[in-house]
Amino acid sequence: MAGRTWTLEDQQQDLYVEQISLGPENVGGSASGYSVTKRTLAAGLGCGVDVIEVNNGSFRFVVVPTRGMGIWKAGLGQLQLGWKSPVKGPVHPSMVRLWEPSGIGWLDGFDEMLVRCGLESNGAPEFNDNGTLRYPLHGRIANLPAHKVEVSIDGESGEIRISGVVDEARLFGNKLRMVSTIITQVGRPGMTVHDEITNISEQGCEMELLYHINFGTPLLDPGSKVVLPVAKVAPRDEVAAGNVSQWNTYGPEEPGSIEAVFFCDLAAEADGRTQTLLRNAAGDRGVSLTFNKNQLPCFTLWKNRQAEADGYVTGLEPAINYPNARSFEQQQGRVGVLAPGETRTFAIAIEALANADAVAAAEQAVAAIQRNAVPQILDRPNPEWSAG
């Protein structure tokens, strides 16, 4: 087997590789046509941000170790995955004011296709009785850099793995370690994100985790549709309640409109596998997410209907909880608990669909899962899911 591993960063060993380009000539084996390039950005809000650009010969994506191993953008041929954020990133965490008094400073760095929310909290900001911020919007993990990063390439199978270790830990608080591995293979039209979250403390701790996976134009256009194997859907609030009749479709940009959010319980196969699809209006471009509901039982659909300049985007968000205030999720029993040394594992496969046949096949796969449930579409918020 022709396989090699490169360590690009290791804080403990004081090792840092600023730039490297890898390909078949560095590995050997029969796999060809791929490349992995690591570089450090030097301008604007991205100054000092490390990016790893992967091209498997068909599918390409950018991993950002500096931003919690998020995935900035991806693409398959002419199909671009991601969105046009008003924030021009990727943004260095030092430029993100997580703890600003409003609680929404996290948005200063938000422009990734895939960004994790957590690990101590992942929902709306929450404040103490005296008005000070207790939990900022969407938590800290996306703005913490990996302290160990490796690239592994198998020259025979064509498998490419980008791994990073990120700690969210402090004295007198949670001590959680995320080991994230993004896996693709030469010629595959997608990737798998595999995360392990471990409590590295000698005390039990709590955690929340949500994958904020975001898509905008050109995939998102008037008439686009999200196809979910629905057991139950409910609007988060009164704004979403007014959009229930179009909960799974997308209209044109509406400058000044308010986001509409829907909380979902998805149907799944007996082993927990479920799948979601976002397709454009023509039905000839799309993206599919496949994950296990036993790992990620909650699903949020976010529709931001503003003008593209202000962030015309939708989020498909598998999670262990809904993104409400942490105290509400704790009351509902959806905050995870990890014993000392315990690990929870999560995996999401993301596949780009570049033609009508691929979109139709994904839609059929979702329909096969839907056979397990008769969908319930609620026209009012579910008090067990929404904090009000």
pLDDT, tens only, 69-118: 999 999 999 999 999 999 999 999 999 999 999 999 999 999 999 999 99
Q: What pLDDT score does 120 carry?
A: 96
Q: What pLDDT score does 182 carry?
A: 98
Of 44, 151, 381, 349, give the one whose Cα is nearest residue 243. Answer: 381
Q: What pLDDT score does 388 carry?
A: 66
Q: How far apart are CA 175 and CA 228, in angstroms?
A: 35
- Contact present, 323 and 122 (Cβ < 8 Å): yes
Low-confidence ranges of the chain (pLDDT < 50): 1
Contacts of 59 (CB under 8 A, 6+ apart): 74, 75, 76, 184, 188, 189, 190, 191, 352
Note if the pTM is more than 0.85.
Answer: yes
Q: What pLDDT score does 371 carry?
A: 92
Q: What pLDDT score does 2 carry?
A: 74
CATH of span 3-377:
2.70.98.10
